Amino acid sequence: MRHSIRTLIGSGLAGAAILAAGLAGGAAHAQDKAPIKAATLLDFTRVYTFLTDEYSQGQQDYVKLLNLEGGVGGHPVDLIVRDQGSQPQQGIALYNQARDEGAIFFDFLSTPVANAVMPRANEDHLPMITFAHGRADAIDGQRFPFVFPSAAIYRSQAALLLQYMDEHGGLKDKKIAFVHIDSPFGREPIALLEAMSKTKGFTLKTFPYAVPGTEQSAAWTDVRRFRPDNVIIWGAGPGQAVSIRGAISNGISPKSIYSVIWLSETDMRSFQGDAVVGVKRFTAVNTGADSAILKRISEKVVAAGKGTGDAKVVGSTYYNIGVASMAIMAQAARQALDKLGPPLTGDKLKAGFEMIKDFDAEGLMPPLTITDKDHQGGGWGRVSEWDGSKWVPLNDWGHAYQDVVWQLVREDAEKAAKEAKK
């Protein structure tokens, strides 16, 4: 194709102008000290899509509420929301950019990206949260001073489900099937389950299915022949509904299905009628729009038309988890500003996190206590059951077998120390 030279020069100049604007645009935010900048660099387009929209909506609505109510100690909170597509290189580039824009807090909601950015965040002294996901050994505050899971990690979740089973029917001589997605996330609790199977005397069998979990019939055929007493499903997104369908069509009662935290109302509502009543799930944060913060969000933000996204989502599982993640950060910031004074830096925010004691976000979550050694907050959670239209909690907030969890963390640390550099 022949290009007239005029179009070539014109497009070249336009291209240069756009390039300059684009490269400068990212860093052109004013370097204010007053607003507290939090960067939520999530995965909107790839692996975590089933969760990110609602999660981000919760975060943004809560930040709007915070700013309406005067911010954190008078400082408004500035939320930076970008997409990293669950790709580490994109995550690193966005992290660098957000850091240079003055962000002092990070949330990635993506295990590969969080893992890739962790060493940099530790070097730069900027805290990040990995709420209910990410590496298990990140709960060790000594090895990962700037990473705050702030919620039960996968091993603690599995431990709590086991404890519930123990209290309701016992575990000795039972058969537990662990049906999981074949990824690091899916394999994370296996170490704990195997350790517990020896001490509690149950038979564990694992059934992996291929990523992305859309076709699991072979695994469930195998599960049926194992004739388990209880089934734990450990997947995320569309795979969860496929798992439940697989379980029920292979004759497993919904009441003996236990799931990881990533099971939402959307997944359950795809089933008709009473088919899935009784499915249980680990819950880290209350669902529903009844708690104090959710009520204020509904009144001041959503009703005033400032809500981010669909009003029907308010109060759903992932929305509330988003609200909780921001609430924890706000509490840490508040305490840091109170005790250490402005301006807020990464180190002060880290200290603020470690000051959190019995914080429950006005009834939204279990009492969280983070110390400089324990960044998990105790591994609190509870078991909820689906009653056909919503999740109903079955017991009180509690935590289980944390001694086993920490033992495994110590073993991970020893292994890492062996392969560490100078």
Partner 1 sequence: MFYRLSGIHHTRYASARQLWPLPADRWQVAAVFVLAVAAPLYMSDLYLSSYMLPWLVWSTATLALTLLMGVAGQLHFGFGAVMAIGAYTSIHLTQAGVPFEFALLAAGLLAALIGCLFGAAALRVKGLYLVMATLAMQFLVDWVIVNVKAISGGAVATLQAPSVEFLWLPVDTLVARYYVALLWAVIVTLLMLNIKRTSFGRALVAVRDKDFAAAVIGVNIFKYKLLAFFTSSFLGGVTGAILAFCFYRAVTPQQFSFDISIQLVAMVLVGGLGSVIGAFLGAGFVLLAPIVLLNIVAPLVEAGWLPVSASLMAHIPLMIYGAMIIGFLLFEPLGLAKIYDNARKYFLVWPFRHTQS
Partner 2 sequence: MNIEFFLELLANGALTGLMYGMVALGIVLIYKSSGVLNFAQGAMVMTAGYVTWLLTSFGLSIYAAVALGIVALFAFGLLIERLLLRTLVGQPIIMIVMLTLGLDIFLRGLVPGILGTSPKHLDLGVGMAPLVLGDVFINRVYLLGGVVALALFALAALFFRTRLGTKLRAVSDDHVSSWSVGISVEHAVAVSWGLAGICAVGAGTIWGTVQGVEWSLTALLFPAVAVVILGGIDSIPGALLGGIVVGVLGSVIPGYVDPLVGGSTRDVVTSVVILLTIMIRPYGMFGREDIERV
CB 146 within 8 A of CB 249: no
For residue 359, the 8-state DSSP code is B
Which among partner 1, partner 2, none contacts residue 403 (Cβ within 5 to 8 A by kind)? none
Cα–Cα distance for residue pair 107/125, rounded to 1 Å: 14
**Pairing status of strand 382-386 against strand 280-283:** antiparallel
User: Which tokens belong to 330?
Assistant: 């706000």
Q: Both tokens of residue 30? A: 């004013």
In the list partner 2, partner 1, none, the entry touching 267 (Cβ below 5 to 8 angstroms by class) is partner 2
- Pick from partner 2, partner 1, none: which does 91 bind, CB < 5 to 8 A by kind? none
Draw the binding track, 84-123, toward partner 1 (x: CB under 8 A; -: no contact): -xxxxx--xx--xx--x-----------x--xx--xx---
Alpha-carbon distance of 173 to 339, in angstroms, equals 53
Give CB contacts under 8 A, 24+ apart, made by 193-200.
Answer: 193/158, 193/162, 193/232, 195/404, 195/407, 195/408, 196/159, 196/162, 196/171, 196/401, 196/404, 199/404, 200/162, 200/166, 200/171, 200/172
Please state the separation of Cα 8 from the chain's center in Å.
Answer: 48
Residue 21, φ and ψ in degrees, nearest 5: -60, -40
Report whether 327 contacts 363 (CB < 8 A): no
Selected from 142, 217, 253, 389, the binder of partner 2 by CB under 8 A is 217
Point out which span in 3-11, 18-26, 212-220, 300-308 binds partner 2 (CB under 8 A).
212-220
Contacted by 214, from partner 1, partner 2, none: CB < 5 to 8 Å by type:
partner 2
Taking CB under 8 A as the criterion, the residue among 28, 272, 414, 420 binding partner 2 is 272
For 244, the token pair is: 């439940």
Nearer to partner 1, 23 or 304 (CB): 23
Of 128 and 356, which has the nearer Cβ to partner 1?
128
**Which of partner 1, partner 2, none is residue 218 near (CB under 5 to 8 Å by kind)?**
partner 2
Region of 81-89, 248-256, 299-307, 379-387 interacting with partner 1 (CB under 8 A)? 81-89
Question: Which amino acid belongs to residue 6?
Answer: R
| Closest CB to partner 1 among residues 85, 254 | 85
Of 219, 323, 356, 405, the residue at the interface with partner 2 (CB under 8 A) is 219
CA 70 – CA 158 distance, rounded (Å): 39
Sites for partner 1 among residues 12-71 (CB under 8 A): 12, 18-19, 21-23, 25-27, 44-45, 52-53, 56, 60
Answer yes or no whether residue 10 interacts with partner 1 by CB under 8 A. no
Residue 405 token pair: 């969890």
- As given in the structure block, the two tokens for residue 262 are 């990533």
Cα separation, 97 vs 37, whole angstroms: 13
At closest approach, how far in Å is the CB of 90 from partner 2? 14
Alpha-helix runs per DSSP H in 102-216: 111-124, 154-167, 184-187, 190-200
Residue ranges that bind partner 1, judged by CB under 8 A? 1, 3, 5, 8, 12, 18-19, 21-23, 25-27, 44-45, 52-53, 56, 60, 81-83, 85-89, 92-93, 96-97, 100, 112, 115-116, 119-120, 135-137, 183-184, 187-188, 190-191, 308-309, 412, 415, 419-422
Residue ranges that bind partner 2, judged by CB under 8 A? 44-46, 49-50, 52-54, 182, 206-215, 217-219, 221-222, 224-225, 237-239, 241-242, 245, 248-251, 266-267, 269-272, 275
